[in-house]
Amino acid sequence: MNRYPAWKYAIIVVALLIAALYTLPNFFGEAPAVQVSSIKSIVKIDATTTARVEQALMAAGITADAITLEGSSVKARFGNTDTQLKAKDAIQKALTPDAADPAYVVALNLLSRSPAWLTSLHAFPMYLGLDLRGGVHFMLQVDMPAALTKRAESLAGDIRLSLREKNIRHSGISRNGQAIDIKFRDAATLASAQALIQDQFPDLQTEEGSEGTEYKLT
């Protein structure tokens, strides 16, 4: 019969205990949660943000199981998905009164129900392979006014170059909001420019007009 030193058995027992400890988070499951993070670099996520989330939930009569500040986001955990969805709406309205200019992203999430002492030991649930159970949340926000302005400026430059190449003289090209105004001294030149624009820029719509003694193409 093989006999081993006691210290070897002790090592095995300790290893099994540690392994058992770090598998515990897998048995606690996950809870629905709402995560708040910043969109703008000038907006910081701190204790003030946590307080605003707490106030928003309190005003809506919603109780969270836990609200924590983790790195650059605030996470609020709830008992069920119905409460989670109501909480998301309440937090969204409180933190983003102007939907056209949001400063925060309020997203649905899942958080482990593991107790804090387990999490402090860096014991986290183990997921098998690529975990996409909650789907992928990808949010692309575009500054549309700035994008449209840049596009209009680019088109104005392209039209100016095209007119110069075809030796079509104009009295000036200016941008009026998202429109481009081109002035001409006579109707014949305007007609030539309009034909050129319709040929080289078919996506643009043109409209004739007049301004004083000059002809205008918008």
How confident is the model over 53-99, as pLDDT tens digits?
899 999 989 988 888 888 888 899 998 889 889 989 899 888 888 77
Residues of the chain with pLDDT > 70, as a percent, come to: 87
The full set of domains in the chain, from first to last, is 30-139 (3.30.70.260), 144-217 (3.30.70)
Query: CA 100, CA 206: separation in Å to the nearest integer?
Result: 30
Query: CA 160, CA 182: separation in Å to the nearest integer?
Result: 9
Entry pTM: 0.50
Q: Are 123 and 25 in contact (CB under 8 A)?
A: yes
Q: Per-residue pLDDT tens for 138-197?
A: 656 666 777 777 888 888 888 888 888 888 888 788 777 777 888 878 888 888 888 888
Query: Long-range CB contacts (< 8 A, 24+ apart) of 209-217?
Result: 211/183, 214/171, 214/183, 214/184, 214/185, 215/183, 215/184, 215/185, 215/186, 215/187, 215/189, 215/190, 216/181, 216/182, 216/183, 216/184, 216/190, 217/181, 217/182, 217/183, 217/184, 217/190, 217/193
Q: Are 45 and 110 in contact (CB under 8 A)?
A: no
Tokens matching residue 174: 């200016």
Cβ neighbours of 42 (radius 10 Å):
6
Query: CA 35, CA 88: separation in Å to the nearest integer?
Result: 9
